[in-house]
Structures are given as structure tokens and as C-alpha cells.
Amino acid sequence: MNRTEEKIGLSVQNSAFELLREHSLSNLVEREIERQIISGELTSGGKLTEAGIANQLRISRGPVREALRSLEQAGLVVNEKNRGMSVRQISLDEVGHIYEVRAALDGLIGRLAAERITKAQLKKLKELIKEMKVAASQNNFVAYFPLNIAFHENLALAAHNPALVMNYRRVTNELTLFRRATFEKNVSNIQISTKNHEQIVKAIESGDVDLSEKLLFDHVMDSKKRLYEALNLNR
């Protein structure tokens, strides 16, 4: 290999490493922005700028740009003409429709999980319930909310259907801020949710596909009702 070929080879290799580094960094940025949205640090309708996020995280704007594109595809942020990127705002009518879709997806998740869940996945769900019980006993909404999200995420994975998980995540991302409000405005909902989770895990562990499907469908529709109650809406 001559020097020219060596230089070309090194250039290609360096470009590949740089692409991998940028891609990995964009994933980290995406998770951080998603965390800030879920935690309420970034509010619905809040403006997002590449420069602002890059400065906050002390990185270049490239990974931020890629992260925002991924979050737009996931339904958490929107890019509007003459306004730029912002945390997505969803109307209450849209919320009702999305909850209906989520209920159907969760019902299928329950059915498949009852057939396919592994011992390790079942153990993880039980561990999460223990942690949720502690948070519920303290009416600790801040600790409970991420555990609730983790519980449903792990439950979705237990269905062992990547296409279902992908669509489930899209729908739940759209509801994130409203799911938070259900517990934030009425902490007693934490107790109700935890009891529902226990019943769901018992049904899945027993392999009862019909009961698992029903419990999860009802759980989501009840969550929709509790949200409207928390917001003092009659729907």
C-alpha cells in the first residue's frame, strides 16, 4: 500500500470513528432531553434550541440536532415553521384518542406477556412493584413516576414483539406530560396504580392471557378517567 492509499484509509477510518462517536453522543443527548421532558424540567410548548442545549451540555450542535430529529419522530417534540423546535403540546381531545389506542396496545402487551415473559423479566417487574410500594407509602410522586414508566416499559418488552414495543413507545411518549399530571395533581392515584400493577403481574405470572389483557386495558382506560378527574374535567 502506498502513502496515498494509507492516507485515504486513515481518513476513512477516522471518519467512521467520528460518525460512531457523534451517533453515540446523540443517543445520550436524546435520552437526557427525554428525561427532562418526563421530569417536567422541560414543559409542554417550551422552546428548544440547538445552541441552548449544546451550551447546557457543553457539546457541539451536531449531536443535538440528531437527537431532536429522533425526538420529533418519537412524538415528543415538534418542528414548526417560523418557530423551530418545541416540546409537543397535545389537546385534550387528542389525549382521549391516544389513550384509547394505548389501551388497545397495552391489552395486547398483557396477552403476549402472559405467554412469553421470562423469569428474569417477571423478577424485574416484581422488584419495580416493591420500589413503587415504598414510594406510594410515602406519597412520593417524584420517586414514583419514573418507576411507573419503567414498569410499563419492562412489561412491553416482556411481550417480545419489537413492532409492538415501537408503537407502544410512540403512543406513551405522546402522553408523558399528561401521565405525570395524573399523579402530580392527585397523589392518591399512586396507591390505585400500584394495586393495579400487582394484579396485572399476578395475572401474567399465572399465564392467564384473557385476564392479563383485560386488566391492562382497564388500567389504561381508568388512568384516562383519573387524568380527567385530576384536571377537573367531565368527559
User: Measured between alpha carbons, how far is 32 from 67 in angstroms, rounded to an integer?
Assistant: 10
Same-domain status, 135 and 210: yes
C-alpha cell belonging to residue 34: 427525554
CATH number of the domain bearing residue 107: 1.20.120.530
Same-domain status, 46 and 68: yes
CATH number of the domain bearing residue 50: 1.10.10.10
Same-domain status, 174 and 125: yes
Better-scored residue on pLDDT, 175 or 15: 175
* Per-residue burial over 189-224, b = 16 or more CB atoms within 10 Å of its CB, e = otherwise: bbebbbebbeebbebbbeebbebbbbbbbbbbbebb
> Does position 112 have pLDDT exceeding 90, yes or no?
yes
Predicted local distance difference test score (pLDDT) of residue 12: 37
Could you give the 3-state DSSP secondary structure of residue 228? helix
Domain's final residue, options 87, 106, 137: 87
Domain's final residue, options 87, 104, 128: 87
Same-domain status, 100 and 31: no
Same-domain status, 65 and 110: no
* 59 contacts: CB under 8 Å, gap ≥ 6: 25, 29
Task: Indicate whether 48 belongs to any domain.
Answer: yes
Q: How confident is the model over 6-63, as pLDDT tens digits?
A: 443 434 344 444 444 545 888 888 888 888 877 778 877 889 999 999 999 888 999 9
State the pLDDT confidence band at 186, using cuts at 50, 70 and 90: low
Same-domain status, 70 and 97: no
State the pLDDT confidence band at 114, using cuts at 50, 70 and 90: very high
Better-scored residue on pLDDT, 232 or 110: 110
Largest CA distance in the chain: 77
Q: How confident is the model over 90-100, as pLDDT tens digits?
A: 777 888 899 99
Reported pTM: 0.73
Task: Indicate whether 204 belongs to any domain.
Answer: yes
Same-domain status, 181 and 117: yes
Task: Indicate whether 235 belongs to any domain.
Answer: no
Better-scored residue on pLDDT, 82 or 148: 148
Domain's final residue, options 87, 106, 121: 87
State the pLDDT confidence band at 233, using cuts at 50, 70 and 90: low
Same-domain status, 42 and 117: no
Same-domain status, 148 and 216: yes
Element (H, E) at 85: strand 84-87
C-alpha cell belonging to residue 61: 450542535
Same-domain status, 72 and 101: no
Task: Indicate whether 51 belongs to any domain.
Answer: yes
Q: Which amino acid does the sequence have at 122?
A: L
* 219 contacts: CB under 8 Å, gap ≥ 6: 106, 193, 196, 200
Range(s) of the domain holding residue 45 = 3-87
Task: Indicate whether 117 belongs to any domain.
Answer: yes
Domains held by the chain: number: 2
State the pLDDT confidence band at 210, using cuts at 50, 70 and 90: very high
Predicted local distance difference test score (pLDDT) of residue 55: 92
Same-domain status, 102 and 203: yes
User: Measured between alpha carbons, how far is 211 from 201 in angstroms, rounded to an integer?
Assistant: 11
Cβ atoms 117, 158 nearer than 8 A: yes
Better-scored residue on pLDDT, 221 or 235: 221
* Percent of residues in the chain assigned helix, strand, coil, to nearest 5: 80, 5, 20
Predicted local distance difference test score (pLDDT) of residue 17: 41
Same-domain status, 153 and 49: no
Inter-CA distances, 121 with 113, 116, 157, 162, Å: 10, 10, 8, 16
Residue 97: how many other CB atoms lie within 10 Å:
11
Ranking 95-104, 130-139, 169-178 by mean pLDDT, the lowest is: 169-178
